[in-house]
């Protein structure tokens, strides 16, 4: 039996400028519904047939606006084009962009750590209050700790990851 190969997309969810709540009320299910609707509008029944079963939002960090979306390998291009059609998640105006495509969640997490290291000064510069600054720092730290926990778990249980 052949295993099902998947692709993970690291997506940035950017709230509209007029939104005062930003991304605080958005849940993974809301992102899933918005992406499903965008796939349906962009690719119709064909796109939904290819992506519906394998589509899954694996991770959402509302503090940094990052999400991991899983699809089966070969269908990630349809998802990438459909993300351009996501304009609202719940009641929040958003824009979604793909930052990275990988074969494992672990490689997505590694990318996310390097992305945050490169963009940390920009994130902190745009914070208007000390509370926002602290929230961004905590979100980034939590994301980095999850990678370290997964790495420790993988090493202690002999789990090897392949990027196919």
pLDDT band for position 162 (cuts 50, 70, 90): very low
Using CB atoms within 10 Å of the CB of residue 138, give its burial: 0 to 12 exposed, 13 to 18 middle, 19+ buried.
exposed
Q: Residue 83: count other Cβ atoms within 10 Å of its Cβ.
A: 22
- Of all residues in the chain, what percent carry a pLDDT higher than 70? 83
SS3 call for 70:
strand
pLDDT band for position 163 (cuts 50, 70, 90): very low
């Amino acid at each position: 039996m052949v295993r099902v190969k998947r692709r993970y997309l690291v997506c940035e969810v950017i709230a509209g400028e007029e939104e005062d709540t930003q991304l605080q009320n958005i849940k993974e299910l809301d992102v899933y519904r918005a992406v499903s609707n965008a796939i349906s509008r962009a690719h119709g029944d064909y796109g939904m047939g290819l992506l519906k079963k394998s589509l899954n939002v694996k991770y959402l960090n509302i503090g940094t606006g990052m999400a991991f979306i899983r699809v089966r390998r070969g269908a990630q291009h349809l998802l990438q084009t459909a993300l351009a059609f996501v304009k609202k998640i719940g009641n929040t105006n958003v824009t979604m962009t793909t930052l990275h495509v990988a074969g494992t969640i672990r490689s997505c997490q590694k990318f996310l750590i390097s992305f945050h290291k490169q963009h940390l000064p920009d994130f902190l510069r745009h914070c208007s209050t000390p509370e926002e600054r602290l929230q961004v720092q905590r979100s980034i730290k939590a994301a980095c700790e999850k990678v370290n926990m997964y790495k420790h778990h993988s090493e202690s249980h002999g789990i090897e990851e392949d990027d196919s």
